Amino acid sequence: MDLQTNSTLLSWMTFSPLIGAALIIGLSLINYVCKCFSKTVMDNLSRAIAVLNVLAVFMMSVALYLSFDGNSTGLQFIHHFVWIKDFNIEYFLAVDGISITMVLLTGLVSLIAIIASVPWLSKIDGHHFTDKNVPGYMVMFLLLETGMMGTFCAMDFFLFYIFWEIMLLPMYFLIGIWGGPRKEYAAIKFFLYTLAGSVLMLLCMIGIYFASGPATLVDGTSVPHTFNIMALSAMGQAGLFANSAPILGVAFSKLMFIGLFIGFAIKVPMFPFHTWLPDAHVEAPTPISVILAGVLLKMGTYGMLRFNFQMLPDAAIWAATGIAIFGTINIVYAAFVCLAQKDLKKMIAYSSVSHMGFVLLGMAAMTPQSMVGAVFQMFSHGLVSPMLFLVAGVIYDRAHTRDIEGFGGLAKQVPEYTGIMGLAFMASLGLPGLAGFIGEFLVFLGSFGTFRIMTIIAATSVVITAAYYLWTIQRMFLGKLNEKWSKLWDMDWRERSMLYSLGVLVIFFGFYPLPVFKLMNTSLIALVEMMRGIQ
């Protein structure tokens, strides 16, 4: 495989947010010294820089989409050189069919989230989070985007780990500083939980490194061990890790699998590691919830595909039933928990847990339909859940409460908002013709051959999901208008720009998902074929 550099686009996408961040920091420092801008000017300047920067990354991701070749299973847009020679660490960014959808999603969701982070064209009161220490927020946001992009693009295990950690820190601050009343608790919980996962991941990374065989760096030197994910995957698929010496009597590949899996499962989040998510979501400001649900959760399942499945296929086959069981628990258990929530945002957070369960189930079933369904579910959830959190944000900005029972009859007061919320809910409950359906349906269809009972249990969630969403609609929007909310105003242009574009995409991909399939089908089916070959 030729892995020489052939494009620096991914590096630009990954690191250009740092330019914006540096610019904002520089401006703040200058302002700190010479006091040449007022707070308003400084705020708007940093907002503008961030928006333009994220927009530029989005444009680059569009360019990436346009020139990506979906028929190839190999890596594309490779940027590859030796970084730290002494430890065989390379700088290696590339995308393939598994990661391309996630990279595009990151570009899009970041754009949506940055629009949600600026108060322009909008009626927002002075206590709103968007007015608080704006330059700091924007720097953190841009840093976060670097971390996310890098995580999906990195093809070197060490580099992947660094990006994974980079992303953690800004997220901690974004929740901890700009969050709601219990922000410290939520932020620390998020941070420590994810960190605990990363420690496991780190240990496994080192273990795998030392178990790896000889390889060649991109500059041609031969080395005894490697961090190159592609090389490691080839070794794993050839059975190297399956035959490595056991540790403490446990097969090496299984132990590595468990370590990595827990690290990623925390991020997904998989039952029983999911409790950080509702807290983080409830406290996080709207755009951060959007990022969290839209992109961050997918890192867990992406990591599983990239490492657990691609690198340790024998252990993945061994663990498949377990993953499917946890996936099913996620789907059904979280759906029931949703039914009990009184806080709108918490309900949506649990619905994310439920929907990510489909990804676990689909991946574990390892059939072409279920695997493609799982990754499509990641993508469609990345469109639908931002929409859900945005609508939750819209009402919170106006009413300063998210108590479902506290509303009532809003449909008369805010009809447009009601319609958009209905669309988002319908997409999330998997109404055919909307994006959420495709992934769910394919997972059901594909998984049944592998896990019969579990797929049927998982399918019961279609009823529960409909119940909690419709019940929420009924309590919030239908019935008599609660007079308390007779001064609520309908959506403004900023919110429209985000929600309508997401809504159009949700409908578009519901009817015409082919563009997404074209990107990933070849790679994912190759992955499934590989797994079958192992078996």
Partner 1 sequence: MTTEFPLLTIIPLAPLIGAAYNALAGYKMQKRFGHAAVHYPAIIMPAISFLITLMAFFKLLSLPANERVLIATLWDWMPIGFLDAQFSFVMDQLTLVMCSVVTFVGTLIHIYSVGYMHEEPSYWRFFSYLNLFMFSMLVLVLGDNFVVMFVGWEGVGLCSYLLISFWYHEKKNAVAGMKAFVVNRVGDFGFVIGLMLLFWGMQGEWVDGKFADIEGSNLSTASEITHEMAAAKVASVTFRHVAERFENKEFKERFLNRKVFGISLITLIGIFLFVGAMGKSAQIPLYVWLPDAMAGPTPVSALIHAATMVTAGVYMVARLHFIFALDPFLMSWVTFVGALTALFAASIGFFQYDIKKVLAYSTVSQLGFMFIAVGVGAYWVGIFHLMTHAFFKACLFLGSGSVIMGCHHEQDMRKMGGLKKYMPITATTYLVACWAIAGFPFAAGFYSKDEILWKAFSSGNLLFPGGGIFIWVMGAVAALGTAFYMYRSYYMTFTGEYRGGGGHHEDHHADHGHYGHAHTPHESPNNMTYVLAILGFLSVVGGFLGLPHLWHLPNLLHHWLEPVFEGSVNYITAAHFPHIMEWILMGLSVFLATAGWLVARWLYLDNKNPLPAKILASKNQLVRKVHDVVSNKYYVDELYDATIIKGVMQFRLLCDWCDRKIVDALVNLVGTVGKVVGFFHGRVDSGVVDGAVNGTGWMVVSGGAILSLIQNGKIRSYIYITVVAMFGLILINYIKF
- Interface of this chain with partner 1, residues 362 to 381, rule: CB under 8 A: 366-369, 372-373
The answer to whether the beta carbons of residues 349 and 282 sit under 8 Å apart is: yes
What phi and psi values does residue 83 have, to the nearest 5 degrees?
A: -105, -65
Three-state secondary structure readout of 121-170 = CCCCCCCCHHHCCHHHHHHHHHHHHHHHHHHHHECEHHHHHHHHHHHHHH
Smallest separation (angstroms) from partner 1 to the CB of 453: 8
**What number of chain residues touch partner 1 (CB under 8 A)?**
81
Binding mask 452-471 for partner 1 (x = CB under 8 A): x--xx--xx-xxx-xx--xx
DSSP state of 131: G
Sequence-distant (≥ 6) Cβ neighbours of residue 306 within 8 angstroms: 98, 99, 229
By CB under 8 A, the residues from 130 to 189 that bind partner 1 are 189
Nearer to partner 1, 26 or 515 (CB): 515
Smallest separation (angstroms) from partner 1 to the CB of 94: 22
Task: Please give the structure tokens belonging to residue 155.
Answer: 């093809």
The answer to whether the beta carbons of residues 252 and 211 sit under 8 Å apart is: yes
By CB under 8 A, the residues from 250 to 269 that bind partner 1 are none
Beta strands in 411-513 (DSSP E): none
Task: Please give the structure tokens belonging to residue 95.
Answer: 């995308």
Nearer to partner 1, 431 or 488 (CB): 431
Q: Which residues, in sequence order, are bridge partners of residue 250?
A: 247
Task: Please give the structure tokens belonging to residue 414.
Answer: 């805010």
CA gap 535, 533 in Å, rounded = 5
> Long-range contacts of range 211-217, CB-CB < 8 Å, 24 or more positions apart?
211/240, 211/241, 211/244, 211/252, 212/240, 213/240, 215/88, 217/82, 217/85, 217/88, 217/90
Of 208, 349, 388, 426, the one binding partner 1 by CB under 8 A:
426
Q: Is 326 in the site for partner 1 (CB under 8 A)?
A: no
Nearer to partner 1, 221 or 275 (CB): 275
Binding mask 275-304 for partner 1 (x = CB under 8 A): xx----------------------------
Smallest separation (angstroms) from partner 1 to the CB of 337: 5
Smallest separation (angstroms) from partner 1 to the CB of 7: 26
Of 271, 302, 307, 407, the one binding partner 1 by CB under 8 A:
271
The answer to whether the beta carbons of residues 344 and 404 sit under 8 Å apart is: yes
Smallest separation (angstroms) from partner 1 to the CB of 480: 6
Nearer to partner 1, 172 or 333 (CB): 333
By CB under 8 A, the residues from 60 to 119 that bind partner 1 are 84, 86-87
Nearer to partner 1, 151 or 341 (CB): 341
Q: Is 489 in the site for partner 1 (CB under 8 A)?
A: no
Q: Is 210 in the site for partner 1 (CB under 8 A)?
A: yes
Nearer to partner 1, 307 or 469 (CB): 469
> Residues, the chain, total?
535
By CB under 8 A, the residues from 493 to 522 that bind partner 1 are 511-514, 517, 521-522
> Which range touches partner 1 (CB under 8 A), out of 19-27, 58-66, 113-121, 405-413?
405-413
Q: How far is CA 304 from CA 74, 202, 264, 301, 518, in A?
A: 19, 15, 6, 5, 22
> Which range touches partner 1 (CB under 8 A), out of 21-29, 109-117, 199-207, 282-290?
199-207
What phi and psi values does residue 357 have, to the nearest 5 degrees?
A: -60, -35
Nearer to partner 1, 151 or 450 (CB): 450
Task: Please give the structure tokens belonging to residue 56.
Answer: 């530029």
> Long-range contacts of range 212-216, CB-CB < 8 Å, 24 or more positions apart?
212/240, 213/240, 215/88
By CB under 8 A, the residues from 328 to 357 that bind partner 1 are 333, 336-337, 339-341
